[in-house]
């Protein structure tokens, strides 16, 4: 189910940095995102609408400066579209539920997909997995 808000509602719901990234297609500076070094088990959700986007088991160290994943949490969670904004062809990735800009996907990732979903930390919220009690 699609999720939408007016631009004023987005501005009230998001931090200025989240708004810049998700709604204005901004990019964080490399190696500055709060989730880059996160190694906890859990799920990465869209900061705009809360949809599950990636699981920690698909996160890996790409050296790119942004959190990188090799596969979305579920089929259809992420949409791709051509991005010619910098005068080169790249593939932009967006949350399929709210249309928020997440980052880009590249074909230089690890097996089994060969993809690198390069995502801005500001586009994500992380929820740690519940620890089992002994």
Active site residues: 118
CB atoms within 10 A of CB 111: 6
Q: Choose among 72, 87, 86: nearest CA to 117.
A: 72
- Residues in contact with 127: Cβ distance below 8 Å, sequence separation at least 6, in sequence order: 42, 43, 45
* Helices of type H across the chain: 7-13, 16-22
| 15 in Cβ contact with 24 (< 8 Å) | no
Cα 57 from chain centroid? 15
3-state secondary structure (DSSP) of residue 1? coil
């Amino acid at each position: 189910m699609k999720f939408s808000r007016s631009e004023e509602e987005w501005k009230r719901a998001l931090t200025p940095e989240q708004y810049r990234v998700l709604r204005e297609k901004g990019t964080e500076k490399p190696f500055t995102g709060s989730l880059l070094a996160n190694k906890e088990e859990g799920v990465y959700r869209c900061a705009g609408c809360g949809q599950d986007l990636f699981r920690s088991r698909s996160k890996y160290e790409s050296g790119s400066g942004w959190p990188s994943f090799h596969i979305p949490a579920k089929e259809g969670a992420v949409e791709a579209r051509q991005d010619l904004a910098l005068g080169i062809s790249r593939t932009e990735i967006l949350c399929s539920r709210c249309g928020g800009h997440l980052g880009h996907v590249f074909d230089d990732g690890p097996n089994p997909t060969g993809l690198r979903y390069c995502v801005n930390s500001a586009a994500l919220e992380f929820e740690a997995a519940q620890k089992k009690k002994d």
